[in-house]
Amino acid sequence: MTISARVKEIPVSAIHEMTRLSQQYEDVAFLSWAKPMSETPKHICEGAIHAIEQGLTSGYSPSPGIPELRAAVAEKLRRDNAVDALATQILVTVGSIEGLAAAVMASVDPGDEVLLPTPTYSTHITQVTLASAVPVLVPLIEAQGYALDIDAFERAITRRTKAIMICTPNNPTGTVFRESDLRRLAALAVEHDLTVIVDEAYEYFTFDPHRHFSLASIPEIADSVVTCYTFTKTYVMTGWRIGYLHASEERITEINKAHIPFAICAPVVSQHAALAALRGSQDCVEHYRRRYQSMRDLMCERLDRLDAVFSYVTPGGSYLMFPRILTDTGSDSMRFCKQLLAESRVSVTPGIAFGPTGEEHVRMSFCVPESMINKAFDRMERYFGV
Ligand SMILES: Cc1ncc(COP(=O)(O)O)c(C=O)c1O
């Protein structure tokens, strides 16, 4: 069996390993999936059904997406993200994940270095490895609420550095990176001629006083940024596999060349559903945001009662948080999670999955029903003898 060195280099995902193990037990309290548990809103499903009935979905679309969707996305970026976007600067992708992969492929050559924070969304690291580039991990400052360490980013730049890749709000820490830090990062990128790939999957889920800020809204850096977005989180469209990216028109032409061999085009039925999402009422998005905020508050309250076991930074966004394990068994987060699952039927994600500084932490998701959070914490209180 011949397997490429770059694929061999990719470790087995700790997230998938925990999912596999969790399936061996019954009645598990799941805090390990970053997947919204509700259903796609009805008006979005109806948009897809209508497109099928109209016979619009059996062929390929143009590879960058159907023109109406690209135009609606550009309008949304102008309205909600202060990004001066045109329809020709939009590429519709298979979830944000394919857009991120295509953006990395189009931005780096083998051996180039890409700076990423740690902890970060582990798939970004894998995407860099798949492009035969080198991920260079720059620790976030946990003591400052997992803030970006811009000085450390600057020190990490070498002759080989080609790109920076971040997500804000951040998975797994839920940090909404500060506008001032993002502006400093932008200046650094301009100074060193680096591409910045930004994943804004959780853009709508921020909690007061935190505000989402899109790097692409800074005019001086507009040509150097690729921003990847998704319908997965905003409209609970996980299985529809639909997202998009924004970049300069010149970059879109190049990224499209990487997009075609991965996808040809995004699923056409999902493009029509996405159009219905953008054209319909946005009340559902605010409804999810409020629900995540109250689930975050509940999770923090329950964590406060376990203060001998975990310390935490209150997340400003997303539906994820990243408590530090305080017990002696916490130094190996994978072992800690396996034991917690086996002995108390609670599934959380080992922090090591998100980069070296993720060790001694776990990721917990609060995109679950209140009853699931309470069940998990009741069990942990019994398990840790609180
Ligand atoms: C930060 C981040 N980016 C991207 C994705 C993938 O999303 P999509 O379904 O749009 O491919 C996820 C999914 O969990 C995520 O957390």
Q: What is the pLDDT of residue 35?
A: 80
**Can you give the C-alpha Rg of the chain in angstroms?**
21
Question: Which pLDDT value is given to residue 285?
Answer: 97
Substitution site in 19, 104, 121, 204 for ligand 1 pocket (most atoms within 8 Å of beta carbon): 121
Ligand 1 contact, 95 CB (< 6 A)? yes
Q: What is the mean pLDDT of residues 7-17?
A: 86
User: Which residue range forms the structural domain that includes residue 347?
Assistant: 5-40+284-383
Assigned token pair, 348:
């959380």
**Together in a domain, 298 and 153:** no
CB of 146 shorter than 6 A to ligand 1: no
Domain boundary residue, one of 228, 259, 279: 279
- The model's confidence at residue 13, banded by pLDDT at 50, 70 and 90, is confident
Cβ proximity of 204 and 219 under 8 Å: no
End-to-end CA distance of the chain: 51
Domain boundary (279, 308, 323) is at 279
Which residue from 187, 184, 168 is spatially nearest to 176, judged by alpha carbons?
Answer: 168
Same domain, 34 and 113: no
Tens of pLDDT, residues 229-287:
999 999 999 999 999 999 999 999 999 999 999 999 999 999 999 999 999 999 999 99
CATH value at residue 361: 3.90.1150.10
Residue where the block lists tokens 């699931």 = 372
> Percent of the chain scored above 90 by pLDDT?
93
Q: Is residue 368 pLDDT above 80, yes or no?
A: yes
For 290-317, write each residue's pLDDT tens digit. 999 999 999 999 999 999 999 999 999 9
Residue whose C-alpha is closest to residue 131's, from 145, 148, 112, 117:
112
- Based on the fold, state whether residues 141 and 209 are members of the same structural domain: yes
Tell which atom from ligand 1 comes closest to the C-alpha of 167.
1
DSSP states of 73-132: HHHHHHHHS-----GGGEEEESHHHHHHHHHHHHH--TT-EEEEEES--HHHHHHHHHTT
Burial of 68 by CB count in 10 Å (0-12 exposed, 13-18 middle, 19+ buried)? middle
Q: How many other CB atoms sit within 10 Å of the CB of residue 264?
A: 11
CB of 199 closer than 6 angstroms to any ligand 1 atom: yes
Q: From atom 2 of ligand 1, which residue's Cα is the shortest distance away? A: 201
For the entire predicted model, the pTM comes to 0.97
* Position 15 confidence tier, pLDDT thresholds 50, 70, 90: confident
pLDDT tens digits for range 144-201: 999 999 999 999 999 999 999 999 999 999 999 999 999 999 999 999 999 999 999 9
CB 19 within 8 A of CB 337: no
Please choose from 168, 170, 204, 232 the residue to mutate so as to test ligand 1's pocket, defined by most ligand atoms within 8 A of CB. 232
Q: Are residue 271 and residue 122 in the same domain, yes or no?
A: yes
The alpha carbon of 209 is separated from its chain's Cα centroid by a whole number of angstroms, namely: 21
Is pLDDT at 37 greater than 80 in this prediction? Answer: no
The verdict on the CB of residue 125 being under 6 Å from ligand 1 is no
**Which CATH number characterizes residue 263's domain?**
3.40.640.10
pLDDT of res. 33:
81
362 to each of 11, 245, 340, how far by Cα in Å? 18, 30, 11
Where does a domain end: 279, 309, 334?
279
